[in-house]
Amino acid sequence: MQRLPAWLPWAALALSAVSIASLTLVWSTQQRIEQLEQELQRRVEYTAEVKALASTATEEVKSTGAKLGLLEARVAESLAQRGQVEELIQSMSRSRDENVVADVDASLRVAQQQATITGSVDPLINALRQADERLARYNQPRLERVRRAVIHDLERARAVSGVDVPSLAIKLDEAVRMVDELPMLSIAVTGPEPARAATRPAAPTASRPASSVAETPSWQQVWAGWSQQVWDDVRALVRVTRIEHPEAMLIDPQQRYFLRENLKLRLLNARLSLLSRQFDLAQSDLRQAQATLQRYFDRSARRVTLATELIDLVGQQCRQVIVPRPDETLAALAAAAAGR
């Protein structure tokens, strides 16, 4: 039997070791490949999930962007509406101020025209007082300057003394009622002459001494008294009166009637002129009525004196009133309307 070489076992052993090492390497490589495949599978799945999440996120981003755009549009719309509301409020406030200014200006101008036509400050005072009350209720700081001007003009208007037309008209009515009772120069009036004459016989008798009166016979006293009375009666038949206007004594009864009516018409015309605030015409009629009283009526009579005093009083109080103009208020209103 042939003997095997000595190196053969060692070669078989080496080959076995190499085989085992190869098998181990193959198995390890296989395990590594399987792990890589599993890792790759996991990554593919993760990538799919990431893509799904990415698409979902993209859709959400798009949805959020759309919602954000809608919100921005609504915010812009709200801001625009707010601006419009603020402009409307300012416009309404500005228009309300302008309306108040325009109304006050128009009322003052109308009152100024009425005061100029009537010659009375009452329409202007009423308009200024109403304007002050309205501005006080409105309480707008922008119009405070206008209110101060209104108060100043109101004080100036109240300082003007007006004419008491109703009182003067009542005085003229009383003078008209007295015309029919006023004595005229053309009517013979028996005054206090007989009374003075009746007292004259006692004067010489009283001046005589008591002894002479006692010694005088009674028939002489009777004769003296009777003759004195006859003489006084004769003197009373003739009166010497100084007349400044001789034509006043030549008026017949019919003319006296028309003269009284003419005097009444003069006084009534003066009354109408006074009520219509035409003070110049009233003064003219009063002067003519005064001249008629002095020329044709007995100025020594109490009623004539009273009528003359009434007409003089009316003539003194019947004067043209200078109505003040509310220039300061009108200037303040113009400045407020211009926005200064």
pLDDT, tens digit, for every residue of 27-38? 888 888 888 888
Residues 180 and 132 in one domain: no
Residues 169 and 139 in one domain: no
Please check whether residue 96 lies inside any domain of the structure.
yes
Please check whether residue 220 lies inside any domain of the structure.
no
Query: Among 219, 223, 224, 178, which Cα is nearest to 203's?
Result: 224
295 token code pair: 């020329």
- Its domain, for residue 136, covers 16-162+322-340
pLDDT for residue 244: 60
Q: CA 40, CA 33: separation in Å to the nearest integer?
A: 10
For the segment 243-258, the average pLDDT, to the nearest whole number, is: 69
- Which has more confidence, 223 or 199? 223
Mean pLDDT of the chain: 78
Residues 292 and 330 in one domain: no
Residues 60 and 170 in one domain: no
Task: Judge contact between 129 and 154, C-beta under 8 A.
Answer: yes
Residues 282 and 315 in one domain: yes
pLDDT in tens, 275-313: 887 888 888 999 999 888 888 888 888 888 898 998 888
Who contacts 202 (Cβ-Cβ below 8 Å, separation ≥6)?
none
Residues 303 and 334 in one domain: no
Please check whether residue 11 lies inside any domain of the structure.
no
Please check whether residue 105 lies inside any domain of the structure.
yes
Kindly list the distances between the CA atom of residue 72 and the CA atoms of 58, 69, 76, 78, 79, in Å, as whole numbers in the listed order.
20, 5, 6, 10, 10
Q: CA 282, CA 277: separation in Å to the nearest integer?
A: 9
pLDDT for residue 269: 92
